[in-house]
Amino acid sequence: MNYLASIFLFFLGEEESFWMMMALIDSYKQREIYMDLRNLMKEYSVLETLVGIHLKPVDRVFRKYKIVYGLFAVPWFITVFASVLPFQIVIRIYDLYLYKRKFLFQAALAVLKFKESRILACKSEDELFMVLLKYQEFDSVSPDAFIQTCLSFRVQSGHL
């Protein structure tokens, strides 16, 4: 939760940050994710379905190596990407995530899209995990390019 609070504290006062955290916890399923990890597993299941729809080549690689989404996507959902992506991208993610919860999944798809060529080139499960757990390539990605990629994915309410 400290990553989440730090983003709010960067822009808001303490009391406003507290109320933003409360809204996030109450309205955006963060409470369920922190209180019961089975709910986090449901989020991974949704992501897996969306990858199968939007990123079929990545899905084939993940299936080939029997990748468990929870092994790489925990910080994505727990910190809403604050622990893995550059600050300028994270604040844009927060803006849109607070507008629509489904944006979290669009951001996850965008991360995988930016990593797609490296994922497809992997020759082993170990190599794939190294690609999935490193984020240096995002240092050179503009926030606008990242958000445009996110918005290119259509996530329907029925997927959630």
Write the CATH number for 54.
1.10.472.80
The confidence score (pLDDT) of residue 41 equals 80
Output the pTM of the full model.
0.84
Determine, yes or no, domain membership for 21: no
- CA gap 19, 86 in Å, rounded: 25
Determine, yes or no, domain membership for 4: no
Whole-number Cα distances in Å, 84 to 19, 61, 66, 94, 106: 24, 22, 23, 14, 16
Determine, yes or no, domain membership for 87: yes
Determine, yes or no, domain membership for 2: no
Residue 19's pLDDT band (cuts 50, 70, 90): confident
Q: How many distinct structural domains can be found in the chain?
A: 1
Structural domain that includes position 41: 37-159
pLDDT at position 57 over 90: yes
Determine, yes or no, domain membership for 3: no
Determine, yes or no, domain membership for 41: yes
What number is the average pLDDT over the span 129-153?
A: 93
The confidence score (pLDDT) of residue 83 equals 87
Determine, yes or no, domain membership for 82: yes
- CA gap 24, 80 in Å, rounded: 11
The residues, any chain, with a CB within 8 Å of residue 13's CB and separated by 6 or more, are none
Q: Which residue has the higher pLDDT, 12 or 119?
A: 119
The residues, any chain, with a CB within 8 Å of residue 72's CB and separated by 6 or more, are 129, 132, 133
What number is the average pLDDT over the span 119-147?
A: 94
Determine, yes or no, domain membership for 17: no
